[in-house]
Amino acid sequence: MKLLRPFRTIQAKLIIMVLLLILIALQLIGVYFISTMKNSLIESFTNNLNTQAQMLTLLAGSAIDNQDETGTTEDGGESELGRLVGNLFNINGAEAQVLDASGRVLATSLAEHQSYVGRKNTSLLVSRALQGINDNTEEIIDTDNIRKKIVVKPVMNDKKDKVVGAVYIVASMSELYQTVERVNQIFVTGMLLALGLTALLGILIAGTITQPIKALTRQATAVAEGRFEERVPVLGKDEIGQLSTAFNEMTDRLSEALSVNEEEKEKLSSILSNMSDGVLATDEIGRVIVANRRARTMLSIEDIEGRTASECLDIDKAPISEALNGRETALLIHRQLSEDEEHLVFRLTLTPIRRRDKGVVGSIAVLHDVTESEKLEQTRREFVANVSHELRTPLTTIKSYAEALDDGAMEEPPLAERFVGVIRSETERMIRLVTDLLHLSRFDSRQAQLRRQMTDLAEMTEDVVDRFSLQLRQKAITVRVQVEPGLQKAWIDRDGIDQVLDNLMSNAIKYTLDGGSIILSSRLNDAGQLSISVKDTGIGIPKKDLAHIFDRFYRVDKARSRSMGGTGLGLSIAREIVRAHGGSISIESELNVGTTVTATLPLTQEGSEHP
């Protein structure tokens, strides 16, 4: 017991501890060093073989087609491949073989293995290389207990689109492992010397270790409690000082990492909250765990967490199950909570959430409101259908009358004249339709340019009435032109506004009964804008049709509009022209009383003139 008393002191314990720590540390360093060096040597060795193999594949590609299965050229001499392989790989313990596309040996670098030429190399690596796989290496222990490295590379033809053979290199690793063994012996010797010196110096360094360790302990405790502002004192540049410095740097980085993590969480939360798309996250059984504000609004559900995604989205469980099985899914969802609310269309995209160690652990559901795009698509389909119908009707009529003329109606002048008149009328109708479509196309593509000029409003409105004087007299319709006193000229596109007024006047005359009246007025409204209106005493428009009256091809009375030669595009063109001026157009109507259409155009100080 007396012999053990010296080892009970703190100093002895520290010396023993230091010795054990040094021993363990050196062992760990040795294992790491030897392993790293071994891996480095093997990697260098392998890279060298890969480089030589790659070089040989480049040189052998053009020569491999001229090589016969015996490894000689046509004149019986040593083949180009044989000389190439022999010159490049004339080193001890290594052999290189060039194989053709069937795996047959064409050339080898070892003279004693010339008998291999013409035989097949059945190695699995060769099969992989002949399939075009480039990375083929393997380490084996040969029958003579020698460790060897095998590298196989595919050989491509000149066009790089076909595998025409392979390069097979096998090299001994004996010298490499002998080098590793010598380094290992040197390290063991150094470790024993280091332990001896450590034992001699242990007494001196024992006291210098305890204080830094205590400081590190205090700092570790502070970090665990979330206090990152404290620092470990650095007493020197030795290992303990470096450890203290590293610990202080680790504390700073940990503090920064936690701050960045908090910032990222705040950013993610802000992004989710302000996204225009709805986002739902589910767990592995399809239960909602996170939902942003937009998703709650779109689905009209507040308490969404804890519910199943299929219940919240009102869809079958199949799409959710596909996402949880690792497949992305996209579909459209139609929702209408009540008859008074608008019909909504959402594009739902379901994406699996994967974790590296656990696979699929949930899914992300993204809701994108495509109601407007679906409306536009429906409008496009209706537009195409309407254009097709509008063109087909006159074309059918023209074809019928042309066939009638061809069948003998040409022989009857009165009948032929009437048929030709119908054909001319339908042709003009198609021309008007195509012209109107071109107008709308230019406005849609923003290619229509306004040619503004200072225009006399009284003259313009009088010209409009003059153009329709014949139709007005035929139906005994009275017209009054009213221009507000003091309002003389305006800076507008005269041709465009003439077209607007022509369309409005044409509609007013069509739907006003004989003996009715029309008022064409120009004035400044309360906002200081030019207001031009056409008011008639016609049949009026039902309230249900007012919301669609400016839609393309929309007609209140389709049969009557077609019989009068209308295309259904006049008001749409008028609206686009007024919008191009930066103005607006509105309509007020009462059934069997009359209709008032008002175009409002902005005026600026430079764009208007007053007396």
Instruction: Report the alpha-carbon distance of residue 236 to residue 245 in Å, rounded.
Output: 10
Predicted confidence band at 108 (pLDDT cuts at 50, 70, 90)?
Answer: confident
* CA-angle at 249, arms to 243 and 253, nearest 5°: 140
Instruction: Report the alpha-carbon distance of residue 17 to residue 238 in Å, rounded.
Output: 18
Fold of 452-609: Heat Shock Protein 90 (3.30.565)
Give me the pLDDT at residue 534, please. 92
Please give the average per-residue pLDDT across 587-591, as a whole number.
Answer: 88
Q: Does 607 or 351 have the greater pLDDT score?
A: 351
CB-based contact 179:188 (threshold 8 Å): no
pLDDT at 461 over 70: yes
Predicted confidence band at 604 (pLDDT cuts at 50, 70, 90)?
Answer: low
13-178 CATH pick, 1.10.10.10, 3.30.450.20, 3.30.390.30, 3.40.50.720:
3.30.450.20
Instruction: Report the alpha-carbon distance of residue 363 to residue 355 in Å, rounded.
Output: 11
Instruction: Report the alpha-carbon distance of residue 456 to residue 474 in Å, rounded.
Output: 28
Which span out of 266-280, 368-382, 515-529 was modeled with the highest average pLDDT? 515-529
Q: What is the pLDDT of residues 268-298, one digit of tens each?
A: 777 777 777 888 888 888 888 888 888 887 8
Give me the pLDDT at residue 596, please. 92
pLDDT at 168 over 50: yes
Q: For 205-219, 379-393, 550-564, 584-598, which range has the lowest pLDDT when averaged over its residues?
A: 550-564
Predicted confidence band at 77 (pLDDT cuts at 50, 70, 90)?
Answer: very low
Q: What is the pLDDT of residues 474-501, one digit of tens each?
A: 899 899 998 888 788 888 888 888 888 8
Average pLDDT, the chain: 78
CB-based contact 522:532 (threshold 8 Å): yes
Give me the pLDDT at residue 91, please. 58
Q: Does domain 374-444 have CATH number 1.10.287.130?
A: yes
pLDDT at 368 over 80: yes
Q: Where in the chain is the domain with CATH 3.30.565.10?
A: 452-609
pLDDT at 550 over 80: no
Predicted confidence band at 135 (pLDDT cuts at 50, 70, 90)?
Answer: confident
Which CATH architecture best describes the domain 276-363? 2-Layer Sandwich (3.30)
CA-CA distances (angstroms) from residue 389 to 184, 247, 429, 469? Answer: 92, 81, 13, 33
Q: Where in the chain is the domain with CATH 3.30.450.20?
A: 13-178, 276-363
Q: What percent of the chain has pLDDT over 90?
A: 3
Q: Where in the chain is the domain with CATH 1.10.287.130?
A: 374-444
